[in-house]
């Protein structure tokens, strides 16, 4: 398994089949013996920006503060790695829908008929 | 739903959805300036888009993933930003062109300047997406789009010489005005191979929950639907060649385009033209706005779907809610819709390698396609057309901008 090819940027799907976002980052745990181990995957927040442009990511983190916090899913919760990454979590109870809900509550939900 | 019915529906989608601001304008310009000489460019573009649509459908049916989804996953975010930006930019310009086409149809019908129609048009497009379902957008626009068959009727009443039309299918160099000739050729290819078509198609296949049982339907729909669609564009070119070319009218102002139908079909022709322009552009605008929302939502793994209520897929709905008024602003600014359309088509051709090559790589990856990967014919055909179109655009686009 290769982190770059098989895990990063794959679609994350929760227990109920809800789209949680893409794998924006991977957290490596303390090395055990010779190999580093994957501690978990990170979705959303400013994680993705760090892979695009560091300056931009730093700026966004300063601007957003705690708002930019990402969703961390421990590796033990990953149930399947294929074209999608299936995780045994309940998405609404994580921060994965933070911006989705923000857009719904502050913008889209305010337009009649939403 | 029976398979035959699905195929018929798919073919109708191809016919009704093919003609839009870009393909109509470029076909009319080609016919007016060069007679039948550029029919081959429509043929080349049509073959290429048929291959691409088939691929996008096959990818969706086998992997259950739409194109942006698969691209982000296969190539990673850093590379994905390139096709994302290219497709988004080109689609945005084409969206503005289509809104321009709708507003022109309204100007022809009412006499009120098209700029005033930009906001009402944008509002109607948005409202239909806000309230509508995917089936309504896809099937509704393609059924109504059959009004573009008026061009076929008009072309037939003009009695074109079949042998001469057929001769136009053979690519030849220009007899005069070489720069214009190649620019028009590449705009035609760009208009036919608009990325929104196959991006939209792949999202649609996922919306309709295609599986491998749809591969045959997909092949027939793409092949037959696009061929008939291309035939409608050829009909528009033939009309222009027989009506405008002999009078030496070059289509450089939009007021000249209704002549295409008023000459063969008289007063009815005028209203058919207005109706065809309105519906074709309105339908395309709906699809492009939706496709931009698919593109962003799928690229970032958000919840998406035109069958969901806006509040159930808020970020997805936000994308089209933002891009539609922005595109309307372009028309409101007073830019010439005809020029915008033609330049957008050439830019589309220029961007083809960026939008098409990642798709080709995916289509040859058994991880996504299992045993349904591409054959060499489609690989070579699409790659050759994209590369040549891009190179020609690279030369012709600056010449056109400097020349005008």
CA distance B49 to chain A (A): 27
Using CA coordinates, name the residue in chain A closest to B82: A52
The structure tokens listed for B70 are 């698969």
Give dist(CA B113, CA B104) in Å, integer.
Answer: 8
Cβ contact B144:B16 at 8 Å: yes
CA distance B260 to chain A (A): 42
Given an 8 Å threshold on Cβ–Cβ distance, is A8 in contact with B301? Answer: no
Using CA coordinates, name the residue in chain A closest to B296: A21
CA nearest to B323, candidates B141, B136, B129: B129
A contacts of B65 (beta carbons < 8 Å): 11, 83
The structure tokens listed for A85 are 């990454």
Question: Domain B2-403 belongs to what architecture?
Answer: Orthogonal Bundle (1.10)
Beta bridge partners of A25: A42
Give the residue extent of every domain in chain B.
2-403
Cβ contact A75:A81 at 8 Å: no
Please state the ipTM of this predicted complex: 0.92
CATH number for the domain harbouring residue A51: 2.30.30.240
Sign, Cα dihedral of B298, B382, B281, B225: negative
Cβ contact A13:A87 at 8 Å: yes
Q: How confident is the model at residue A31 (pLDDT cuts 50, 70, 90)?
A: low
Which DSSP category does A32 fall into? B
Given an 8 Å threshold on Cβ–Cβ distance, is B300 in contact with A22? Answer: yes
Q: How confident is the model at residue A6 (pLDDT cuts 50, 70, 90)?
A: confident
pLDDT (0 to 100) of residue B404? 58
Q: Going residue by residue through chain B (404 aa), what tens digit of pLDDT does each one get?
A: 578 888 888 888 888 888 899 999 999 999 999 999 999 999 999 999 999 999 999 999 999 999 999 999 999 999 999 999 999 999 999 999 999 999 999 999 999 999 999 999 999 999 999 999 998 898 888 889 899 999 999 999 999 999 999 999 999 889 888 889 999 999 999 999 999 999 999 999 999 899 999 999 999 999 999 999 999 999 999 999 999 999 988 888 878 888 889 888 888 999 999 999 999 999 999 999 999 999 999 999 999 999 999 999 999 999 999 999 999 999 999 999 999 999 999 999 999 999 999 999 999 999 899 999 999 999 999 999 999 999 999 988 888 888 75
Interface check A108 vs B, CB under 8 A: yes
Task: Provide the residue range defining the domain that includes A71.
Answer: 3-110
B contacts of A48 (beta carbons < 8 Å): 77
pTM: predicted TM-score of the whole model, two decimal places: 0.94
* Total structural domains within chain A: 1
Backbone φ and ψ of B111, nearest 5°: 85, -5
Q: Does A34 or B20 have the greater pLDDT score?
A: B20
Which of B79, B315, B365 has the highest number of chain A CBs within 10 A, making it the mutation to test binding with A? B315
CA distance B17 to chain A (A): 28
Cβ contact B29:B191 at 8 Å: no
Given an 8 Å threshold on Cβ–Cβ distance, is B314 in contact with A101? Answer: yes
Query: Which of A9, A109, A113 is the closest to B76 by Cβ?
Result: A9
A contacts of B130 (beta carbons < 8 Å): 111, 113-114
Question: Which stretch, A35-39, A66-70, B109-113, has highest mean pLDDT?
Answer: B109-113
Question: Residues in chain B whose beta carbon is closer than 8 A to a beta carbon of chain A?
Answer: 63-65, 69-70, 72-73, 75-78, 80-81, 130-131, 300-304, 309-311, 314-315, 317-318, 321, 367-368
Give dist(CA B133, CA B127) in Å, integer.
Answer: 11
């Amino acid at each position: 398994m290769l982190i770059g090819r098989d895990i990063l940027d794959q679609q994350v799907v929760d227990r109920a089949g809800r789209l949680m976002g893409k794998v924006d980052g991977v957290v490596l745990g303390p090395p055990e013996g010779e190999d580093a181990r994957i501690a978990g995957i990170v979705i959303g927040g400013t994680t993705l920006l760090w892979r695009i442009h560091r300056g931009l990511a730093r700026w966004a983190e300063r601007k957003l503060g705690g708002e930019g916090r990402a969703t961390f899913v421990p590796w033990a919760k990953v149930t399947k790695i294929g074209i999608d990454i299936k995780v045994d979590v309940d998405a609404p109870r994580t921060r994965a829908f933070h911006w989705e809900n923000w857009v719904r509550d502050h913008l889209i939900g305010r337009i009649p008929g939403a | 739903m029976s398979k035959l019915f699905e195929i018929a529906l798919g073919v109708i989608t191809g016919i009704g959805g093919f003609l839009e601001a870009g393909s109509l304008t470029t076909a009319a310009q080609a016919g007016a300036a060069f007679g039948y000489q550029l029919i081959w460019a429509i043929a080349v573009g049509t073959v290429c888009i048929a291959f691409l649509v088939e691929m996008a459908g096959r990818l969706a049916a086998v992997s259950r993933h739409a194109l942006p989804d698969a691209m982000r996953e296969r190539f990673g975010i850093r590379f994905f930003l390139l096709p994302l930006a290219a497709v988004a930019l080109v689609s945005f310009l084409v969206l503005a062109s289509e809104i321009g086409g709708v507003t022109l149809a309204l100007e022809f019908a009412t006499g009120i300047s098209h700029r005033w129609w930009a906001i009402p048009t944008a509002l109607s497009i948005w409202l239909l997406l806000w309230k509508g379902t995917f089936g309504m957008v896809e099937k509704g626009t393609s059924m109504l789009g059959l009004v573009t068959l008026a061009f076929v009727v008009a072309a037939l009443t003009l009695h074109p010489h079949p042998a001469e039309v057929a001769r136009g299918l053979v690519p030849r160099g220009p007899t005069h005005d070489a720069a214009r000739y190649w620019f028009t050729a590449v705009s035609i290819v760009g208009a036919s191979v608009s990325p929104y078509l196959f991006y939209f198609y792949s999202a649609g296949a996922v919306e309709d929950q295609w599986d491998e049982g749809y591969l045959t339907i997909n092949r027939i729909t793409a092949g037959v639907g696009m061929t008939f669609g291309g035939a409608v564009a050829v009909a528009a070119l033939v009309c222009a060649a027989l009506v405008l070319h002999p009078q030496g009218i070059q289509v450089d102002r939009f007021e000249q385009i209704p002549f295409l139908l008023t000459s063969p079909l008289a007063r009815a022709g005028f209203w058919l033209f207005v109706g065809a322009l309105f519906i074709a552009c309105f339908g395309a605008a709906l699809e492009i706005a939706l496709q931009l929302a698919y593109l962003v939502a799928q690229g970032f793994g958000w919840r998406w779907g035109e069958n969901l209520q806006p509040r159930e897929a808020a970020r997805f709905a936000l994308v089209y809610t933002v891009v539609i008024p922005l595109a309307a602003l372009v028309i409101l600014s007073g830019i010439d819709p005809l020029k915008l359309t033609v330049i957008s088509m050439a830019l589309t051709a220029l961007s083809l390698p960026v939008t098409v090559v990642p798709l080709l790589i995916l289509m040859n990856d058994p991880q996504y396609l299992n045993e349904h990967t591409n054959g060499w014919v489609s690989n070579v055909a699409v790659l050759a057309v994209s590369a040549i179109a891009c190179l020609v655009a690279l030369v012709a686009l600056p010449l056109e901008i400097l020349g005008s």
